[in-house]
Amino acid sequence: MKRFSRGPTLAAALISVSAAPASAVELDVRTDGLDAGERVASAQILDDVQRLLPLGWSAGIDGPLRIEWHDGLPAHVEGRYRNGLVRLRRSLLRDWQARDASRPDDAATRAARAAVLHELAHAWDRSHKGGLSRDARLLDLAGWPATAIRRGRVGANDFRDRTPDAYELATPREFVAVNLEHFLLDPEYACRRPALHRYFVARTQAAMPRPNCAPPAFVQPSMEGAADPSPLLEIDPARIAGVDYLLAEPDAHPMSRWGHSMLRLVVCAPGRPRGPDCRLDIASHVVLSFRAFVDDLQISGWRGLTGAYPSRLFVLPMPQVIEEYTKVELRGLRSVPLRLSDDEIALLLEQAAQVHWSYDGRYRFVNRNCAVETWRLLHAGVPRLASASLTGLTPTGLLRRLQSAGVADASMQSDPDAALRLGYRFDSQGAHYAELLDVVRASLPIGPRSVEAWLDDPPASRARWIEQADLRAAAALLVLENAALRRAEARAADVLKRRLLQDDAQAVALRGDLRGSLALADRLTRPAALLADGGYGQPMPGERSVLRARLETDAAEWSSRSAELRNAGEALLSVGRRDALAASRDNIARLSARLRELAVTTRD
């Protein structure tokens, strides 16, 4: 029960407008200096808030709490809690008296409730039964994850996007207080921050109905090869047959000599029952890949070391990832299943969605690279893994630890042929290209050249074999010519980056266009920027409708800009390099025509 002191008898009578619950926090309300209307307002506000408090929260506060209403609090401070004393802004009482009591969403009602709940949250958190802001699980979910090098927590919270109140990022204590406000006052909190909602339900012992939320949503900036062409991808955890640790194998380049860590969601194709066959639905699979967003014209190793680039969670179609690594970078992919239950997969997907919409960290090559970010996602998303010793600073090191802990099952990797056939491994196309060159060599006198030498030959030298090729050789030459073009375009892009640093008029103009495209790419890879007009956490159905429209506009603009930039960029290349690209594209057209011609001849 409340205990009121220093108040006149009339105030005590007015205060009893409604009975407080049996589990109410014991309050010592100081009402001297308040007029009769303010005393009534004080009683109404405190009784109103007491009825909102779940048992675990109210019973956990060390009482009694002293309550004082003040005019002397700093600007923009609605309340303060110190050592059992809660000071609240007195103007809240006057606003409460003037409120529209028929509207539960009235601004004055919301402000008074939020202010009192915020300070009562601090009182509970700092009590011997509270301690939420010191709970490792809460810190993981809130965005103060464990460090990868030494024991402890990161000092700053980088879950800065889609926040209900930026003040929550100040300290774990303020995070708890701000989120407990929204937990009780915002009916959408359960779907906007589902993991935190479940945590608070458990800690407060609140009796709340199970929410019916839309599936987690992700922005898919590139849809190349995806079964679902929508840039806004909704993933139902019931369609995920498994999660793999996806490792892009190391190569000789400095930035990739330890490999690249990703997670592969084995999503079943629409209509297919969840099971082992879903592993073959590669077009439906989704890859979660932490990458540095390079927002300048050239990659800087120093900026990568010092955290100058944003670190973001990219959501990519599996076919695009296979293309990128095996065909362009000529690196193999190992897909190692993780031993996760269905419930753990759902939790991991939920955490990935929170990271996708809220996290905008800083990439650091040593201690915040793809392996560390992937470990943090597993650590926070699957509570069981938080107690396992999985910390790894490199992609290959993290995989070893996952295997040692019995979390990753690499048994399929022992049979390379079966691993390739069943989608547990995707080999570099370098070996495949060598086999295709052997096919060509079997029917044409091309000599003992290596694949690399063949791909680096001038296009005109490769073109002289087109009309002599039979059906098998022409098919092999077409695949090799496409590889040669990709290789030439990648080298041209490196040359163009250096060319853009010059100060002639063409380079200056293209730099301006390119920076505009980078700003567009920044929006597409930082989903919160697409919904800058409010809201927090996972977007609600109404926000998703707005988001789809914006994504369609931005995707169309990106397509147009990309074509224009390609043409303008190639115009800056040397005549010889431009002619080589044009000749390689001509070779592809001629080989396609040759194949059609030979196919007709074969049928006849």
Instruction: Indicate whether 419 and 439 sit together in one domain.
Output: no
> Residue 488's domain spans which residues?
430-603
Instruction: Indicate whether 232 and 359 sit together in one domain.
Output: yes
Domain-located, residue 209: no
Last residue of a domain, one of 363, 393, 426: 426
User: 84-114 pLDDT, tens per residue?
Assistant: 999 999 999 999 999 988 887 899 999 999 9
Task: Report the distance separating Cα 479 and Cα 104, nearest Å.
Answer: 66
Instruction: Indicate whether 466 and 393 sit together in one domain.
Output: no
Confidence of residue 151 (pLDDT cuts 50, 70, 90): low
Instruction: Give me 83's structure tokens.
Output: 């050592």
Do the bridges between strand 286-292 and strand 309-317 make them parallel or antiparallel, or are there none, so unpaired? antiparallel
Task: Report the distance separating Cα 202 and Cα 271, nearest Å.
Answer: 36
Q: 174 or 295: whose pLDDT is higher?
A: 174
How many domains are contained in the chain?
Answer: 3
Predicted local confidence at residue 256, as pLDDT:
58
Domain-located, residue 30: yes
Instruction: Indicate whether 415 and 289 sit together in one domain.
Output: yes
Q: Is the pLDDT of residue 9 over 70?
A: no
Q: Residue type at 257?
A: R
Instruction: Indicate whether 415 and 435 sit together in one domain.
Output: no
Contacts 24+ apart (CB under 8 A), 205-211: 205/54, 205/55, 205/56, 205/57, 206/54, 206/56, 207/54
Last residue of a domain, one of 386, 407, 426: 426
Predicted local confidence at residue 351, as pLDDT:
96
Domain-located, residue 522: yes
Nearest to 373 by CA among 387, 352, 400: 352
Domain-located, residue 342: yes
Instruction: Indicate whether 251 and 341 sit together in one domain.
Output: yes
Q: What are the beta bridge partners of residue 153?
A: 146
Predicted local confidence at residue 76, as pLDDT:
86
Q: Is the pLDDT of residue 304 over 60?
A: no
Instruction: List C-alpha distances in Å: 585 to 408, 466, 469, 482, 567.
Output: 43, 13, 18, 8, 14
Instruction: Indicate whether 224 and 369 sit together in one domain.
Output: yes
Q: Would you tell me the crossing angle of helices 541-571 and 471-500 to the nearest 10 degrees?
A: 90
DSSP state of 228: S
Domain-located, residue 447: yes
533 contact partners, CB below 8 Å, separation of at least 6: none
Instruction: Indicate whether 117 and 176 sit together in one domain.
Output: yes
Domain-located, residue 211: no
DSSP state of 167: G
49 contact partners, CB below 8 Å, separation of at least 6: 113, 116, 117, 120
Domain-located, residue 210: no
User: 538-594 pLDDT, tens per residue?
Assistant: 999 999 998 988 888 887 777 777 776 677 777 778 899 989 999 999 999 999 999
* pTM of the predicted protein model: 0.84
Instruction: Indicate whether 414 and 461 sit together in one domain.
Output: no
Specify which of 262-271, 306-315, 318-327, 592-601 reaches the highest per-range mean pLDDT.
Answer: 262-271
Instruction: List C-alpha distances in Å: 37 to 10, 49, 108, 383.
Output: 11, 18, 16, 50
Domain-located, residue 246: yes
Q: How large a percentage of the chain has pLDDT more than 90? A: 58
Instruction: Indicate whether 561 and 422 sit together in one domain.
Output: no
Predicted local confidence at residue 515, as pLDDT:
66
Instruction: Indicate whether 450 and 590 sit together in one domain.
Output: yes
Instruction: Indicate whether 168 and 227 sit together in one domain.
Output: no
Q: 132 or 489: whose pLDDT is higher?
A: 132
